[in-house]
Structure 1
């Protein structure tokens, strides 16, 4: 079994699933895809947004006696937002895995709240991964500065890393 981890920025489209399957069509041994879908931390975003919107006038400077403490309503809203984000990521993962399986390929996956490259580093030994495919939209500046996910993965992993750009749907 040849295990390939696929880090995606968005769910895998039918066209992208087809391209992934075709990349490994000539392999003599079976290929299993392990899809990794990053999931945002909604609570941190809600708190950062509120702090950024109100600034120091409402919440005070961090060095002052009273630091920003979200009340129960903000916590509840952040928890609700996190559940919605998690559900969306889980649905995207399910559709992505389903699309790979529709091409008669073995596939599984997980969502993560951690930094995607950190999750890759920990997940590769668990699944005995031999290769990583990073599937993202173009990020020209990040790629130019070599801080995109594929560049980070190449620095931290001892396996080949292939960066593919998501195919844009034709209208």
Structure 2
């Protein structure tokens, strides 16, 4: 019986991310379901701190000046990230499907877990100084409400969050 690995990501997965994730399940009969939230409601202060913690001065200034994406642009960006991720997964030989979900992905995760045999959730994000420190990141929140294992990986690395 094929089990589902839920992948929640804020950006398109890189080839290295896909290699790492599919390598974790290489001997298993799994399919991937990718969820990409449309980031329509960003907290300006949290965005500034996150960008500064990563040395992203231009992005921090953009956040401070309110240059965040409009909701329609955020949805379009999420759809592009989803398409790129699905392309990478399928190129690696994985069975994959996905959806763009609302800004808060927890309801979509809950629904997906309730709908079928989900083996685990893999959350792939950039480091987020505030959310990671105070355990309000997606992975921490998912661990609190889902009854399946949740793994948090930092994008482009093999580091666990």
- Normalising by structure 2, what TM-score? 0.74
2:146 corresponds to which residue?
157
In structure 1, the gaps of 5 or more residues are 50-80
Q: Cα distance, 1:17 vs. partner?
A: 0.7
Q: Are 1:139 and 2:128 matched, yes or no?
A: yes
Matched, 1:95 2:95: no
Distance 2:35 2:91 in 1: 18
Tell me which residue corresponds to 1:166. Answer: 155
The number of equivalent residue pairs is 132
Work out which of the two has the higher radius of gyration on C-alpha atoms and give 1 or 2: 1
Query: TM-score, structure 1 length as denominator?
Result: 0.70
Which residue of structure 2 aligns with residue 72 of structure 1? none
Q: For the residues of structure 2 that align with 1:116 and 1:82, how far apart are their CA atoms?
A: 15
Give the whole-Å Cα distance in 1 for the aligned partners of 2:130 and 2:73.
30
Aligned pairs for 1:101-116 within 5 A: 101-116=90-105
- Structure 2: runs of 5+ lacking an equivalent: 45-69
Within a 5 Å distance, the mapping from 1:6-17 to structure 2 comes to: 6-17=7-18
By how many angstroms is 1:106 displaced? 0.3
C-alpha distance in structure 2 between counterparts of 1:140 and 1:110, whole Å: 27
Hey, which bits of structure 1, 4+ residues long, moved more than 4 A? none
